[in-house]
Structure 1
Amino acid sequence: MKVYYECGPCFIRQAKEAMDLATDDNELKINLIEDIFDFLADNYTQNASSNKLGSVIHRMIKEKTNCSDPYSKEKVIGNKIALEFLPMIEKLLEEDNSLENYIKIAIVGNILDFGALGLDFNPQEFILSNLDKNLAINQIDQFKEAISNHKDVLFLVDNTGEIVFDKLLIEKLIELGLNVTVALKEKPILNDACMEDAKSVGLDEIAKLTTIGTDSIGLIYDEASQEFKNLFDNSDFVIAKGLGNYEGLTETNLEGKDVFSLLCVKCSAVSKDIGIGERENILLKL
Structure 2
Amino acid sequence: MNYECLICQVKALQQRLEKYEIPEEKRDHVVSEMLKKIAATDLETSFSPEITRNILARLREYSNVEDPYRKEKQEGNRLMLERYGEFREMVHNSKNPFDTALRLAIAGNIIDFGPTNHFDVEGTIEKVLNSAFAIDHSQQLQNEISKAKTILYLGDNCGEMVLDKLFIETINHPNVFFAVREKPVLNDATEKEAREVGIHHVAKIISNGDDAPSTLLHRVSPEFKEIYQKADLIISKGMGNYEGLMFETDPRLFFLLMIKCPVIGRKIGAEKGEFVVKRSVVPG
Unaligned runs of 5+ in 1: none
User: Which residue number corresponds to residue 147 of structure 1?
Assistant: 145
Deviates more, 1:58-67 or 1:73-82: 58-67
Other-structure match for 2:193: 197
CA distance in 2, matches of 1:242, 1:163: 10
- TM-score normalized by the length of structure 2: 0.92
Go from structure 1 to structure 2 and tell me whether the alpha carbon gap of 1:277 and 1:37 turns closer, same or farther (over 3 Å shift). Answer: same
Cα distance, 1:88 vs. partner?
3.1
**Larger displacement relative to structure 2 (101-110 or 15-24):** 15-24
> In structure 2, how many angstroms separate the alpha carbons of the residues matched to 1:99 and 1:53?
36
List runs of 5+ in structure 2 lacking aligned partners.
none
C-alpha separation between the residues in 2 aligned to 1:278 and 1:46?
23
* Residue of structure 2 in register with 1:13 after alignment: 11
| 1:257-268 equivalent positions in 2, closer than 5 A | 257-268=251-262
Structure 1 residues 65 and 24, CA, compared in 2 at 3 Å: closer, same or farther?
Answer: closer
Contact in 1 for aligned 2:179/2:206 (Cα 8 Å)? yes
Pairs within 5 Å for 1:121-270: 121-174=119-172, 177-252=173-248, 254-255=249-250, 257-270=251-264
Assess if the C-alpha contact under 8 Å between 1:189 and 1:217 holds in 2.
yes
Q: Measure, in 1, the Cα distance between the counterparts of 2:126 and 2:59.
A: 33
Equivalence for 1:279: 273
Q: 3-state SS of the aligned residue for 2:214?
A: coil
Q: Matches of 2:25 and 2:82 in 1, distance apart?
A: 39
- Aligned residue for 2:205, secondary structure, equals strand
**Counterpart secondary structure, 1:8:** helix
Letter in 2 for 1:54: T
Larger mean CA deviation between 196-205 and 11-20 belongs to: 11-20
Pick which of 29-38 and 164-173 moved more.
29-38
Deviations 1:98-132 (A, max 9, x none): 2111110100111111113x023444444444443
- Mapping of residues 88-99 of structure 1, within 5 Å: 88-96=86-94, 97-99=96-98
What SS class does the counterpart of residue 134 from structure 1 fall into?
coil
Identical aligned residues as a percent? 32
Q: Deviations over 1:177-216 (max 9, x none)?
A: 4410111111000100000101001111221111001111
Deviation at 1:227, TM superposition (A): 0.8
Q: Distance in 1 between matches of 2:22 and 2:61?
A: 15
Query: Mean Cα displacement is larger for which, 83-92 or 269-278?
Result: 83-92
Taking the aligned partners of 2:140 and 2:123, their CA distance within structure 1 comes to 31
The 1:231/1:250 distance shift into structure 2, 3 A limit, reads same
Distance 1:7 1:18 in 2: 16
Residues matched between the structures, number: 279
RMSD: 1.8
Specify the code of the residue in structure 1 equivalent to 2:104: I
Cα distance in 1 for residues equivalent to 2:22 and 2:212:
25
Residue 55 of structure 1 contacts residue 217 of structure 1 at CA under 8 Å; is this kept in 2? yes
How far has the Cα of 1:170 moved from its partner? 0.7
Separation of aligned partners in 1, 2:128 and 2:78: 19
* Paired letter, 1:229: K
**1:45 equivalent in structure 2:** 43
Equivalent residue of 1:159, what SS?
coil
Residues 56-65 or 150-159, more deviating: 56-65
What one-letter code is carried by the residue in structure 2 that aligns with 1:111? I
Instruction: Report how far residue 44 of structure 1 moved.
Output: 4.2
Q: CA deviation at 1:66?
A: 3.0
Q: What is the rounded CA distance, in whole Å, between the counterparts of 1:239 and 1:265 in structure 2?
A: 16
Q: Deviations over 1:243-267 (max 9, x none)?
A: 1110111244x44x41110001011
Query: CA–CA distance in 1 between the matches of 2:38 and 2:110?
Result: 27
Give the match's secondary structure for 1:183. strand
Q: Is the 8 A contact 2:261 2:272 kept in 1?
A: yes
TM-score (norm 1): 0.91
Moved more, 156-165 or 95-104: 95-104
* Aligned counterpart, 1:103: 102
SS in 2 for 1:120: coil
- Write the distance in 2 (CA, Å) between the matches of 1:24 and 1:195: 27
- Pair 144,220 (structure 1): closer, same or farther in 2 beyond 3 Å: same
**What secondary structure is seen at the aligned counterpart in 2 of 1:217?**
coil
Alpha carbons of structure 1 residues 278 and 27: separation in structure 2 relative to 1, 3 Å? same
Question: Is the partner of 1:6 in helix, strand or coil?
Answer: helix
